[in-house]
Amino acid sequence: MTRATAILLAALLAAAAIGSGISAARRVGSYHRENPREQFAFKRVGVREFNYAGRPVSLLDEASPSGKKLIVSYGDAKLSLPVVLPLDPRLPGLAPHDDWMGVLRFASATNMDLPELQAKMNAGEVRDRLVIVTRTPEPGADPTTWGEINKHRWTFDFYEFLPEGGFAHQKMAFPNKRARAKAEREGRELAIPQLREKTWEFEAALMVMPKTDGPNPEFRNDGLAAMGWTLPASGFATIGMIAMLVVAASRRPLTPARA
């Protein structure tokens, strides 16, 4: 390949990279305009007694023959939650349960940044919701060793306090692409639905996980996925352009030797 040909190809690939990059930026912008991101602001409740929606709420530890339990009362409604991790009774309030359970106030909004939403929630300017989220290790596994390490077997229970009284309950599993792909191949639904990014359940579950063991980003249904073919096209064109410039540099004409 001649030097001139390499330079021409580098120029064409540079144009392709620029064009693909512009198209990718437009796609991302269009995606975010059509799908404004919902923000979630959370605040952990650390006390054992408070009021919500005009009803008293209490969370008390109870020892029973079947093990320790956390008894939640909301007006006339009650929950009995098995304590799955060892407690440190020296800690105040609900702190002994922080590794596996959280009582969370939260609010959501679109077209609002997180600090603004957090401030509005704290000031009572947006309606907040109240939920208990629990993290349960694999049944039968030691919760302090293998059960704590094997995060793909974790399940999460969400108990939302309904303004009219009572609780709404749902169970979800830690994200597992392999299990999801297998279910899709077999044409069946997952026995337990998995946490999905950009949902309040996902964000709430993060608050009862060890900081280093959260799910890896999957980039599904987001701006990166919206780029489609333009992202690899821009990348390959850039790599090709660099390769052609290297070829062109190696084809520099030699300076004639002086007599």
What DSSP line would sit under 59-76, residue for residue? Answer: EEEEEETTEEEEEEEETT
196-203, Cβ contacts within 8 angstroms, sequence gap of 24 or more:
197/221, 197/222, 198/37, 198/38, 198/222, 200/40, 200/106, 200/108, 201/133, 201/156, 201/158, 201/170, 201/172, 203/40, 203/42, 203/106
Residue-range domain boundaries for the chain: 1-37+220-252, 40-197
CB-neighbour burial class of residue 20 (10 A; exposed 0-12, middle 13-18, buried 19+) = buried
Q: pLDDT at position 252, please?
A: 61
What pLDDT is stored for residue 37 in this prediction?
75
Distances 158 to 91, 161, 226 between C-alpha atoms, Å: 24, 10, 31
Tell me phi and psi for residue 58, to 5 degrees. Answer: -140, 150
**CB-CB contact of 254 with 9 (8 Å):** no
The tens place of each residue's pLDDT in the chain, 259 residues long, gives 787 787 777 787 788 778 777 877 777 666 556 666 788 999 999 999 999 999 999 999 998 888 899 999 999 999 999 998 877 878 999 999 999 999 999 999 888 888 899 999 988 888 899 999 999 988 776 666 666 668 888 999 999 999 999 999 999 999 988 888 888 888 898 889 999 988 999 999 999 998 777 776 665 555 566 666 677 777 777 887 787 777 777 766 655 555 4
Sheet architecture: strand order including 67-74: 49-52, 55-64, 67-74, 77-82
pTM of the predicted protein model? 0.70
List the end-to-end C-alpha distance of the chain, in Å, as a whole number: 30
Residues with Cβ < 8 Å from 74, sequence gap 6 or more? 52, 55, 56, 57, 161, 165, 166, 167
Q: What is the pLDDT of residue 155?
A: 95
Q: Can you give the three-state secondary structure of 74-109, one letter per residue?
A: ECCEEEEEECCCCCCCCCCCCHHHCCCEEEEEEEEE
Locate 38 and state its tokens: 């919902």
Determine the pLDDT at residue 249: 77
